[in-house]
Amino acid sequence: MHSYYIGKSGKVIVRENTIDVEEINIENVMDIDGKKDNYKEAIFFDLEHYVYKKPICIGVFGSCYYDEVTSTLNVVQYMIENKREAVDVLYMAKEYFNEMYQNKKKRYIVTFSGNNDFSVINYLFNKYNIDFDFKDYFINIDIQKEYEKRLKESIGLKNLEKRIGIEREGEVISGANLAKTFGKVIKDSNYIKRMPEEKIEKILLYNEQDVVNLFHIYVNWLTLENKKEEDSSISENIEANPE
């Protein structure tokens, strides 16, 4: 089930979505510090941003968490419409993180190659004197680093999704195209009014897929490790028995 709405917070575009999650096999979940239930205490986080020599703005803030009571993923996204909202989205992000920590009792933040996103948001928090330090609240789990450490090879998110059998909704948008779009939003306050609604929804869906798929990768981690073993076994058999 998908159930979402797009509305105005009085500041930025807000999109919220609730997605049903099938039963989770705890044996397949990524093990962190000897625990397999960390996903219940985690938020899954991704940004679309605009950087020109230095970070300029967050175009889309995206995050989700798993609700054990309803067996759903609850997704929240904030998207700016103009330059003035570049600061608003930062304050909304801080409020979200505080809510997740204090009321939802989340203690982990799961990313993919998260150093880039953290560099951007920390730079902008500092620029606008917004007091928030992730290290005081969350333990970061970077799925790309975990994959490289455990499976001894590098991989991008889209290829990792394919390897685990995830099929994306909507089309893949390049980071360069997203940056170009938000560059125009920052420079032209009327640009988003000329942007087709379908394009806005396409951007939001792309970001949503990033955070939702992080969750599915996390809770189906054993599938990756098993597939890696199968691929290695096939490769060894081919080398041992060449045609």
pLDDT digits over 24-82, tens only?
Answer: 999 999 999 899 999 999 999 999 999 999 999 999 999 999 999 999 999 999 999 99
Q: What is the pLDDT of residue 237?
A: 43
CATH of domain 2-240: 3.30.420
Q: Among 146, 52, 132, which residue's Cα sits nearest to residue 100? A: 132
Q: What is the pLDDT of residue 89?
A: 95
For residue 35, give the 3-state DSSP assignment: strand
For residue 172, give the 3-state DSSP assignment: coil
Cα of first residue to Cα of last residue in the chain, in angstroms, is: 49
Average pLDDT over residues 110-137: 96
pTM: 0.90
* Across 59-73, 101-115, 167-181, least confident range: 167-181
* Separation in Å, CA 119 to CA 34, 55, 122, 138: 29, 9, 5, 15
Type of residue at 232:
S
Rounded CA-CA distance 209/226 in Å is: 24
User: In the predicted model, what is the mean pLDDT of the chain?
Assistant: 89
Rounded CA-CA distance 163/161 in Å is: 5
Q: What pLDDT, in 10s, does the model give residues 186-233?
A: 999 899 989 998 999 999 999 999 999 999 999 999 988 777 666 554
